Each structure stands twice: as structure tokens, then as C-alpha cells.
Amino acid sequence: MLLIPCPWCGPRDEAEFHYGGQAHVAYPADPSALTDEEWAKYLFFRANPKGPFAERWSHSAGCRRWFNAVRDTSTNEVLAVYRAGEERPATFEPRPVLPARPAFEDEAPSGPIGGPGAEPPDRTRARPLRFTFDGTEYQGVEGDTLASALLANGVIAAATSIKLGRPRGIFSAGVEEPNAVIQIEEPFPEPMLPAPAIELYDGLVATSLPGQGRLATTPDPARYDAVHDHCDLLIVGAGPAGLAAAAAAADSGARVILADDQPTLGGSLLGTGELADWAAELNTRLDAAPDVRILRRTTVFGYYDDNHLLAVERRTNHLGAKAPQNVSRERVHRIRARRVVLATGAHERSLAFADNDRPGVMLAASARTYLHRHGVLPGRHAVVFTTNDSAYAAALDLAASGVAISAIVDTRPEPGAWADRARAAGIEVLPGHAVTGTDGEARLTAVTVAPYGETTGQREFAADLLLVSGGWNPVAHLFSQSGGKLRYDEALGTFVPDAGRQAVEVAGSASGVFDLAGCLAQGAAAGARAIEAEGYTPEAPRLPQVPEQPQLTPPMQVFTVPGREGAPRFVDLQRDVTVDDLSRATGAGLRSVEHTKRYTTAGTANDQGKTAGVLASGVVAELLGVDISALGTTTFRPPYTPVSFAALAGRDRGTLSDPVRTTAVHEWHIEHGALFENVGQWKRPWYYPQDGEDMETAVLRECAAARDSVGFMDASTLGKIDVQGPDAGVFLDLLYTNMMSTLKVGMIRYGVMCRPDGMVFDDGTVIRLAPDRFLVTTTTGNAATVLDWMEEWLQTEWPELKVHCTSVTEQWATVALVGPRSREVLGSLAPQLAVSNDDFPFMAWRETTVAGIEARVCRISFSGELAYEINVSPWEALALWEALHEAGAPYGITPYGTETMHVLRAEKGYPIIGQDTDGTVTPQDLGMSWAVSKKKPDFIGKRSYARADAVRPDRKHLVGLLPEDPGTFLPEGTQLVADSVLPAPPVPMLGHVTSSYRSAALGRTFALALVKGGRERIGERLYAPVGGRLVPVTVASPVLYDPEGARRDG
């Protein structure tokens, strides 16, 4: 959502604005002096540059001002805004490109987070929770995820793979999980959720999935909602860097939001067991800080224009059946942040070695997380396979907790100080080695290793756990979505955020800083810089001491590992994509990771390749023999993790999905059995069926009442615009095709409005209230568009005109009283009104009281009958309506709806704009040349009537159609052809049916149609293909009822 700075109101959401096309295209001073070509250029030709482009915008949901903006069409950045009539600024500065991670002093050398961590939690002291997985009941504890609870029960195989049906185990401890994607059955079915991201609750019932989920068949009873949030600083991620950033900003007075996807703050610290006291203490402090909001269990999943970020908060999922019903289950936060610090951490990546998918193969840091966070050991006998130092800390922690580590297999020939520490702890380290194969079906049983790149010298270790670390990928998804660019870091062997144009910084391991001290320092600096830029004074937070770490040895870049002949080496576990699959893709000639992704589907599963993406790039680079830095990554798009449609829909469901506009008499219509038609957002009575009537019968009855006696209709939905000012007449003369300035006060005129291309765009009546004041009505659906149109011309082209336009649509309720007896009904309620035709002629209006209610009564007819439109305050509309109902009772007054209105007007050949027209129809096409002024020097559309196209003899005209069989009904949209036998395609089409009805007055069906040269065809027979046969129809005048107009005056 762009933030567009209105020159008057300041920055507002793009949704409040309305686009008006290229700016500075002035309406020609004298259109009649232009050649057809020049006029066509004005009408149809606009620039379409890449880069800065001056455009018109209207702040339509705000101050209603039109203004100009220079927008870069390639970046969408709004470079400048200026008021209508002002010159386009000569220069403007695009936003600078900002580094994702400004250089800061005393940057520590990067390495894995932490040393051996604290004591793991004691599960026996936590509250037990019961759950069911694949039909078996288990017990977990409070604080568990489904994955940790399964592991605690010795269950690691939690899925079978989608294509190959291979057993798969829990692979990670977070949202990056590719394997253990499960289905929740109770309390409410939900498919495809990663088990490590599901908080356990009592009564959870889940099943494993063969790759595909199952949607619920009953409606979700839970509430979902959304909120708009605003802050000076949004920090995404509450690991060491995010917490340090929050600490720096917390007490400054800046409004800070700290969002984290876990129930507890700490991020990676929860998985390493480090700095637990600091995190807890800070947690308490942040909770108490008045300007800090912590959003726990909240995943920021999308980063859009102008620091607009979307997040989903899981509010009651973790409560299971105990979730309160009045609290939304999930909430979407639409966050507008002045500054953002992304401290989103890093994901460990795997390696493509033989049979790397057996249950028991797990990312090394994830195993460490299960230990420290949940007190769970994912296995008993482990082999560790790594290319970097980080897996050593995991191995040491697990060993200290009782896991037998048979060997640490390190591809690096000289693993350095961490290896020494492991050896000191009694763990065998195999430098320059790699895993060449694994065994085991339901679970890993053995791991085969050999010197890296060789097949001889193999050793086999019995193991139920193989911990893998192929390096770390910064979680750069949000940064990339923000428009930021990534670069390949040779030293780290991965892609890191480089630079972008939004007000964002990346801190901690998300930026490629992998040591704890560095993360803390960098996070604090980023938080301080952000709020300082917003005018607040940061504090230097007290950062904890980090224990001295062994000297680091650089990681080795490894993607594929040679191994056992014929064994699959998986790259994307969730999609079952192997090195061989990628090899087929490159063999087929694909040279881009975007193409190999689509060819193999690697990275397209619902984990979006979080553990597989960079690995896939690395494998493809190896296959192509190029450097991975030249290939890059595939594009990161929102959402970062899957978001349910229910959450995105929120409360915009059912009756709240779209506004329903109602009139002041709406309740009466409901009580009297009306069925409703949607007209724009309005609900209009369609017809009022009486006991058992179908639509056809009801409409024929309503039509007959209006033609024979009296009917009434709620016409309040018509748009109404008050046009005031000394130049009001001049202005309306420019807008309408006919003359309005000559209208006398007290009188009414029908008018047609066209676009500059001459096509009809709206019609309605114009009432002259005073010499400098008119009331204009518009069609129901077009009221806002017409007002916008008027404002655009006034503000951008004719600012010198002293006219103001104000919507008064709801200021007045309107009742149409129609039929030969309408005069009697009105007369009985309006004793002060002289109702005779001489006193109150057609197209006049009077102010009076009707049923004691102040009213403006207009003699207008949309049916050809004697008719009145009575306008009153909507506060008194129901009283008026009921009075009419009562006063009309002796005449059988009948309420009628839009369908009857349509029939009555069609019988008279009155078009409905938008039904009988489609933006390609001129007033002349409608047979309304009489409404197009020949006297006015100019009006909008006039020049176009002199174009050759406007006077073509084969233009489509509005005509009547009479099926030869008076009972045959022509569906609207039916095409018309000349012959009784269809020729071979292409069949020349002569036109189509725009309106079609059964007429009580004519005693037959009839239609209106747009037909080529229609007025010259009156009397001709044409054919309408309906349901496989050609129906003969006769072209007629559009005015089929009372052509002499005898009924108008009663």
C-alpha cells in the first residue's frame, strides 16, 4: 500500500486516492478549431514513459482535491506532489539507496552463535497436556510444540513424502520445516501446518500427511480480524539483535512494536540456552514500557511499499478448545512503520548427500533447540555432519545431555579450535570427511562416512540421529520483499542483504553477523539509529557479557556431496526434488534458478524452500560450472509463511463483506415482502410479490397498477448534487449536451452528460432552485463518479468558474408517485398545492407540504404516465410513504420496484445508461439529437460529434424489437442477425438486445436493442438466435407505448 502525500492532507493510504491519468493535458481552448487528428490525439494519446511521470490524482476519500504527482513508473515511488494549476517541479530527488547494514565500528569477526548453553528445562515439572497423533494418544507438556512433543515420545517420522512416498522425519525446529507438515483435525480442521510451529494444547488431534492437506467441510466458527498499527519503529524478530534494538529504543518515547513469531521472546537464545536471564529481564522491562508493544506469536509475512508490513498474530490457537469465542483466533496487523529493523535471524541449510532424507536426519541447531527449549533429546546416538563451526556447539550441548556423539564429520581439512574443544570433550572429529550414505527405513540406523570426495576408506557408524549443518542463510525474505537487493558474501558462503530504498536496516544474523556479541551490538546500534532518525534520544542499553568463544575457522562452501551410487540426494525435501532432477533441468538447457525452480518445482512447496533455496542455487551453480554469486536466488514474495484465507478475509465476510446502502424506507420494504436488487451498493426493492406470486405475475400486476391507477416507488437512491454559484449555469452548459442556463427557476430539464469522446456517460434531471443554484440528479450507481467528474473539470480545467458542487444524495428521500390517479392522491395530501395541469405543468417543481411534511414536488415522469417525485427529509420519509399508502388505498395504490420501473420506461423507449448503453453510444445513437445543443459554442463531447466515426450510417441505434410470436422472450444480450439461416462463421452481427420484458400494457413481450443503422431498419425483420433456433423479430420504434404522449398530463 503506497503512502501518497496529498498536498493538503499529508500522507494517506493509496486506497483513499483515485487515479486521473496523465497530468498537464489541457482541454483545448477551442476544440472546434482542431483537426480530427488533433482532437483524436487529445482524446486518445497519452505518454507511457518508464521513469518519472506527471499524473493527476484525486484525494477522493479525503478532501476531494485533484492534484498532480510525479511518480516513477518503474519503482512506483511518488517523487513530488503539487496542487492543480502549479508547475511541475523541475527537479526531484529519488529516495537514496541505503545500505541494509551500515558499517559500524568494532565489528566482531562472524561466527556461530554461542558456546555451550545453560541447563535444559526439566520436563517433569511442566504441566502435562494430552494429544493424539495418527490415532495414538500421547502426553506432552506445556511449552511444547507438536514436534517437540512427538520427539519426546520417540516419534520422529511424521510424514511421507509427496511424490515418492518415502518416510520423512522432523527435520527442523521452526517454520522452515520441510517434512513434518501435518493436518490438524481438532478442534477445527486445518491443513498443512509445520509441526515445529504448532504450539501444543490439550486435546490437539493431528494426523500426518502424504504431502497434501484437507480443508474443512464446515464453516470455520472462529473469529478472524484485522487492525491497523502505526509506530516509529517496528522490530521484526526478538532474538539477540531484535531484543538489543528494542532495549535501545524502549524508554525513548518512540512508539515501538516488537513482533516475534514465538510465544516467548529470545529467538535463537531459546535454542542455545544462552543469556536467558538477560532476555527474561528485558522482557519484563519491555512489557512495562508504555510506548512499546510486543506482538508475540506474530509472524510478519509481507513487506510492501512505504514501510507497510503485514503480520498475522495467532491469538488463541494455542488454547485449543478453551479459546474464548469473542476473541479473534488470528489477527492480521497492517503495520505502517516509520522505520523498520529486521532481526529475522538465519536458517540453517542442509547438504545434498546420499539418502539425506531418512527420519533422524535433522538440522544440527534444531536438535540443540529441542534440547534447550523443550528438554527433549531427538535421538540417542548421533553423527554430526558439518561444513562450519556452528554444529560443534550443538554436538557439545547434546553430548553433555547424554547423547552419544559417535563422530563429527567435517568437510574442512583443518577444522581448528572448535574441533579441539570437541576432541577435548571426548568426541571423535573426522576432518576432511563427508557422509556418503545412510541406512534405515522407518528411522535412521547407520551413517556411512568417507574422506570428502572419495569412495574408499569408508566407515559406518550406528546412529539414530544425523545432525547436519551446511551453513546458514540469513532470513532475507522481508528485506527482499521491501525491494532490497541481496549480494553473495564469499566469506560467509551465503546471500546477505545489501541495499534498498526503504527506511529499513537489517541486524544480527539476518544481516550475516553470526556471533552473539556482534548481534547484540549491531541490534542496539540499529535500534538507536532508527529512533534517532525519528527525533528521539536513544539510550545505550546495558548489553550482557558474552563468554569468550573459541577462535573461528571459516566455513567451507559445500552443496553436493558425492556418495553411494544410485542413492537420491534430496535438495527440496518437501517437493522430492533431487540433484538428479536439477541435473535434468540444466541438461534441458535451463540456465536460471527461476527456470530450474519452475522446471523441477524445487522451492515451490508451502515451505517455499526455506532450507532448500540456496542449496538449489548452489547445486545448479555446480551443475552449470558457474559461481553461485552469478546465479543469485529465486525471488522472495509474500507471504513469508502460509497465511490462511480466513485470516486474510478477517471480518469482511457475509453481511460485512461489502457495504449495503439502504434508504430511509428500507424497513417498510422488507416488512412488505420486497425482494431486493443490488444497484451499486444500494439495495433497491426489485418487486413485491404477493402470496405465491412469481416475478412475472408480480411485475405485470405492478405495471398495470401504475398504468391504470396509481403506484409508488422509493427513488431515494438517485444521486443528487447541489450546484451553487454565480457560474452554475455556465458550468452545467459545459457539462451537459443540452442548454441548462436557459432553464427558468421553478422548472426542470432532462439532460445528458457525455465524455469528451462524445459517448453518453450519465443522464438525469436538472432542477433550477434559484438563479445561481441547481439540483442535479444522477443515475443511482453513478452518483460519486459524476461528482468526481464535476470536481475534476472545476478544479483542473475551469478553476475560474465560481461554482461549488455538494452531494445531497442522502439529504433527500424521494418517492415517485405514478399513474393516472396520482394527482388525486397527491392532492388529498397537499391541500396548499394547486395540482391541476395548468397550475402545475410537466417539468415544473413546487415547494409545499405533503401529509404535513415539507416537500419539494417535481412533475417528472420516467414512465410516460402522470407522475410526481416527492422529495422530503429522510427523517420523515417513512411518514410520507405511509401517508401515501393510506391516501392511495382507495385507488389500490401499489408499491413497485425497479423491475416495474424498467418495464414502464422501456415501453416508452427511455434508455437506462449502463444497461442500454456501454460507453460506445452517443446521444444521437439513442435518438436524442434533440438533447444535443446546436447553439452552444462548446460542451464536453461536442467536438467528437463532428468526427467521421460519429456520423457513420451503420452506427448502432437504440430501437424497439417485437418478436413475431408475442409470447417469445428474448434474453438480454441476444445477438441479432439478418438472415433466417445462419451463414458460415464469421456471422455478421447486426446488434444485440439490451433490455427485454413482458408488457402488461402491450399484452406481449418486447425488447430494446442496439442495431446497426437501426432507425433505417424500422419495420424490417431480423433474427435472434435463442436456444438453437432463430427467432424472427421486427424492428420497431423504441417508443412502443403511448407514442403521442397523451398520458403524461393525466
Partner 1 sequence: MADTALTAPPRSPLSRYADRLAATTRTSRGAVRLAELPFLAQLNVRLDAKGGAADAVGLALGLQLPLEPNTAIRAGELTALWLGPDEWLVVGPPGSERDLETRIRAAVGEEPVSVTDVSAQRTTLLVSGARALDLLAHGCPLDLHPRAFGAGRCAQTTLARTQVVLVARDEPGAGFWVLVRSSFASYLTDWLLDAATEYI
Question: What residues from 280 to 319 belong to the interface with partner 1 (CB under 8 A)?
Answer: none
b/e map 959-987, b = 16+ CB within 10 Å: bbbbbeeeebbbebebebbeeeeeeeeee
Give me the least distance between CB of 672 and partner 1, in Å please.
17
Q: Does 660 bind partner 1 (CB under 8 A)?
A: yes
Q: Does 18 bind partner 1 (CB under 8 A)?
A: no
Q: Judged by CB under 8 A, which of 804, 936, 998, 1015 binds partner 1?
A: 804
Place of cell 483435525: 185
Q: Judged by CB under 8 A, which of 655, 671, 1027, 1046 binds partner 1?
A: 655
- CA–CA dist 315, 226 (Å, integer): 12
Cis peptide before 555 (omega within 30 of 0): no
Q: Judged by CB under 8 A, which of 47, 164, 327, 626 binds partner 1?
A: 327
Give the pairing type, strands 204-208 and 181-186: antiparallel
Q: Judged by CB under 8 A, which of 70, 337, 853, 931 binds partner 1?
A: 853
Cis peptide before 187 (omega within 30 of 0): yes
Q: Let me know: does 466 contact 438? Beta carbons within 8 Å.
A: yes
Q: Does 847 bind partner 1 (CB under 8 A)?
A: no
Q: Judged by CB under 8 A, which of 130, 214, 380, 651 binds partner 1?
A: 651
Give the pairing type, strands 748-754 and 429-431: unpaired
Q: Does 19 bind partner 1 (CB under 8 A)?
A: no
Q: Does 828 bind partner 1 (CB under 8 A)?
A: yes
Backbone Cα Rg of the chain: 37
* Strands (E) located in 251-307: 256-259, 292-295, 298-304
Q: Judged by CB under 8 A, which of 667, 696, 949, 964 binds partner 1?
A: 667
Give me the least distance between CB of 563 and partner 1, in Å please.
55
Q: Does 730 bind partner 1 (CB under 8 A)?
A: no
Q: Does 322 bind partner 1 (CB under 8 A)?
A: no
Q: Judged by CB under 8 A, which of 40, 404, 808, 1039 binds partner 1?
A: 808
Bridge partners, residue 4, by sequence: 12
Of the candidates 155, 193, 194, the residue with the CA atom closest to the CA atom of residue 177 = 194
Q: Does 771 bind partner 1 (CB under 8 A)?
A: no
Question: What residues from 211 to 240 belong to the interface with partner 1 (CB under 8 A)?
Answer: 223, 225-230
For CA atoms 681, 683, 686, 689, the dihedral sign is: positive
Q: How many residues bind partner 1 (CB under 8 A)?
A: 71
- Of 2 and 978, the one with the shorter C-beta distance to partner 1 is 2
Question: What residues from 63 to 122 belong to the interface with partner 1 (CB under 8 A)?
Answer: 63-65
Grid coordinates of 215: 480443508
Q: Which of 12-20, 176-184, 208-216, 474-482 is the region at the interface with partner 1 (rule: CB under 8 A)?
A: 12-20
Q: Does 811 bind partner 1 (CB under 8 A)?
A: yes
Grid coordinates of 212: 497434501
Place of cell 433474427: 1023
- Of 644 and 724, the one with the shorter C-beta distance to partner 1 is 724
Q: Does 785 bind partner 1 (CB under 8 A)?
A: no
Q: Judged by CB under 8 A, which of 43, 400, 730, 878 binds partner 1?
A: 878
Q: Judged by CB under 8 A, which of 109, 726, 1043, 1045 binds partner 1?
A: 726
Q: Judged by CB under 8 A, which of 38, 86, 652, 696 binds partner 1?
A: 652
Grid coordinates of 14: 493509496
Q: Does 264 bind partner 1 (CB under 8 A)?
A: no
- Of 324 and 937, the one with the shorter C-beta distance to partner 1 is 324
Q: Does 663 bind partner 1 (CB under 8 A)?
A: yes
Q: Which of 321-329, 420-428, 701-709, 1018-1026 is the region at the interface with partner 1 (rule: CB under 8 A)?
A: 321-329
Q: Which of 234-242, 505-513, 523-531, 651-659 is the region at the interface with partner 1 (rule: CB under 8 A)?
A: 651-659
DSSP string covering 357-383: TSTTEEEHHHHHHHHHHH---S-SEEE
Give me the least distance between CB of 752 and partner 1, in Å please.
25
Question: What residues from 461 to 500 belong to the interface with partner 1 (CB under 8 A)?
Answer: none
- CA–CA dist 463, 468 (Å, integer): 13
- CA–CA dist 45, 30 (Å, integer): 18
Q: Which of 2-10, 172-180, 214-222, 273-281 is the region at the interface with partner 1 (rule: CB under 8 A)?
A: 2-10
Of the candidates 605, 604, 610, the residue with the CA atom closest to the CA atom of residue 211 = 605
Site string for partner 1, 880-919 (x = CB under 8 A): --xx---x--------------------------------
Question: What residues from 522 to 561 belong to the interface with partner 1 (CB under 8 A)?
Answer: none
Which are the contacts of 330, defined by CB distance < 8 A and separation ≥ 6?
222, 224, 312, 313, 314, 315, 317, 644, 646, 647
Q: Does 809 bind partner 1 (CB under 8 A)?
A: yes
Which are the contacts of 1001, defined by CB distance < 8 A and separation ≥ 6?
703, 704, 707, 907, 1041
Q: Judged by CB under 8 A, which of 330, 498, 702, 876 binds partner 1?
A: 876
Q: Does 326 bind partner 1 (CB under 8 A)?
A: yes
Q: Let me know: does 914 contact 947? Beta carbons within 8 Å.
A: no
Q: Judged by CB under 8 A, which of 45, 92, 645, 875 binds partner 1?
A: 875
Give me the least distance between CB of 169 and partner 1, in Å please.
40
- Of 831 and 1043, the one with the shorter C-beta distance to partner 1 is 831
- Of 638 and 874, the one with the shorter C-beta distance to partner 1 is 874
- Of 335 and 571, the one with the shorter C-beta distance to partner 1 is 335
Helix/strand/coil (H/E/C) assignment for every residue in 742-803:
CCCCCEEEEEEEECCCCCEEEEEEEEEEECCEEEEEECHHHHHHHHHHHHHHHHHHCCCCCC
Give the pairing type, strands 465-469 and 472-474: unpaired
Cis peptide before 639 (omega within 30 of 0): yes
Question: What residues from 32 to 61 belong to the interface with partner 1 (CB under 8 A)?
Answer: 61
